[in-house]
Every structure is written in structure tokens, then in C-alpha cells.
């Protein structure tokens, strides 16, 4: 009996693969959404008249504070409530925030 690296990996069912693909796609879109702000720095600065420091706060500190403050709460809720509902709620809030901006 051979024990190789592949024997230790669990086999995923098709539903688990689809879940992984969907979550990976959503994560990629959220990452792309954050990177769009980087591409639009000059037009945003010109339109709103903000300085480099203010743009730096928007790009770095804004996301960092949001994730640092909301992360523990989301982690706590994931441990206690339905994960599907939490993921769905997070996607809806992120999408509505993106659409409204």
C-alpha cells in the first residue's frame, strides 16, 4: 500500500466543487472591484478635488478599517448562524454598496 500526497486529500463532491467555483468567482470580482479604484485615481482626484493623502486613506485605510472592524463580528456570526445566509447577505451588501457608489 502506497501512501502518497494524493491519498491524504479528501474527494470533493460536484456540489462542493460548484460552491468553490462560485465563491472563487465572487472573491475575484470583489478584488477586481477594489482594483478599479486604483485605476480611477486621477479622474476621481480631478472630479472631487481630493489630495494624495485623502486618496491614500480611501484606498488603504478605508478597506483596512472596514475589514478590521467587521471581520471579528462576521467570524462570530459564522460560528453561530447559517453560513449560506451570511455569505448571501455579505454579497448583497457589497453589491448594493458598489452599485450605489
Q: Please, how many CA atoms are within 13 Å of residue 24, restricted to the half-sphere of its CB? A: 6
- For residue 80, give the C-alpha cell: 453561530
Q: Domain for residue 2, yes or no? A: no
Number of domains in the chain: 1
Domain with 79, as residue range(s), is: 14-100
Nearest CA to 92 among 84, 75, 59, 16? Answer: 84
Q: Which of the four pLDDT bands, split at 50, 70 and 90, describes residue 80? A: very high
Residues 12-51: tens digit of each pLDDT: 888 888 988 998 998 898 888 778 878 888 888 889 888 8
Higher pLDDT, 58 or 47: 47
Q: Domain for residue 68, yes or no? A: yes
Q: Domain for residue 3, yes or no? A: no
Q: Domain for residue 77, yes or no? A: yes
Q: Domain for residue 50, yes or no? A: yes
Q: Domain for residue 46, yes or no? A: yes
Amino acid at each position: 500500500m502506497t501512501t502518497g500526497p494524493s491519498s491524504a486529500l479528501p474527494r470533493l463532491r460536484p456540489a462542493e466543487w460548484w460552491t468553490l467555483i462560485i465563491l472563487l468567482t465572487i472573491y475575484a470580482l470583489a478584488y477586481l472591484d477594489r482594483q478599479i479604484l486604483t485605476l480611477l485615481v486621477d479622474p476621481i482626484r480631478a472630479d472631487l478635488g481630493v489630495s494624495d493623502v485623502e486618496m491614500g486613506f480611501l484606498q488603504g485605510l478605508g478597506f483596512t478599517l472596514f475589514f478590521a472592524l467587521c471581520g471579528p463580528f462576521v467570524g462570530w456570526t459564522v460560528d453561530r448562524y447559517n453560513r449560506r445566509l451570511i455569505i448571501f447577505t455579505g454579497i448583497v451588501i457589497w453589491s448594493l454598496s458598489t452599485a450605489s457608489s
